[in-house]
Chain A
């Protein structure tokens, strides 16, 4: 039980770090493209994605893909928080309601294929050597 909690904690720490790649992209957008600072921010963004890809593989060894996947929806919330904290983006009622719908949709999507009480999914499609962003899309 304790180790399961730890996996969840590490997963959410990882997702928080991952969401910071957006902050780097946004900062890169604020400077001249292909200037020195641009490459600093862009490099930081790629580094975060790299850390995330490595961490995600470790998470999938300890947790069902559907569970890990559904938790990714939290990145919508982090986007709202980082936007507010670092870029003074207002938090509106429509944003909150919209975010709730999306998070509900993502969680439902993640479990749409899962059979009740099934073991951690281990199909070939779910543990690939080079899935840098770890899912089809995103």
Chain B
């Protein structure tokens, strides 16, 4: 795995992180009450979140110039790490030992997979 490959692979990792943040914003927005249905969608945080989602899709396409298609879903499984962290920080969800074990399995899997790309 050379530097160029690592750089392009990092675009997917960054995109995954960005889309995780946008999901936090969407979820926070969904918990609020709005005066109308339109305002539920047309407000600054929601529009910002969807813009970030678009950015993440463009980053993904950029990455695929070098990264093989099959590596995409593998790198995207890092989302579970962010889900766990953001869930604990922003939504008071508990981090169980089972979850930590699951994250360890996912990370080990990504590392093993990387050697086969």
Residues of A within 8 A of B (CB): 19, 22-23, 25-26, 28-30, 33, 42, 45-46, 75-76, 78-80, 82-84, 86-87, 89, 92-106, 108-109, 111-113, 124-125, 128-133, 135-138
Contacts and interface: CB of A to CB of B under 8 A. Distances in A.
Query: Top 4 nearest A-B pairs by Cβ distance?
Result: A94-B116, A98-B113, A137-B79, A101-B109
Contact of A137 (B23, B41, B60, B74): B23
A92 B72 contact: no
B60 A25 contact: yes
Contacts of B111: 98
Interface string B19-59: 11001101101110000000011000010001001000100
- Which of B30, B96, B105, B108 is packed against the most chain A CB atoms within 10 Å? B105
A83 B69 contact: yes
Given A29-B61, A33-B61, 10 more contacts: A83-B71, A94-B112, A94-B114, A105-B77, A105-B105, A106-B106, A129-B30, A130-B30, A130-B41, A137-B19
B72 A106 contact: no
Given A76-B73, A87-B69, A102 B23 contact: no
Interface in B80-117: 80, 82-83, 86-87, 91, 93-94, 96, 98-99, 101-117
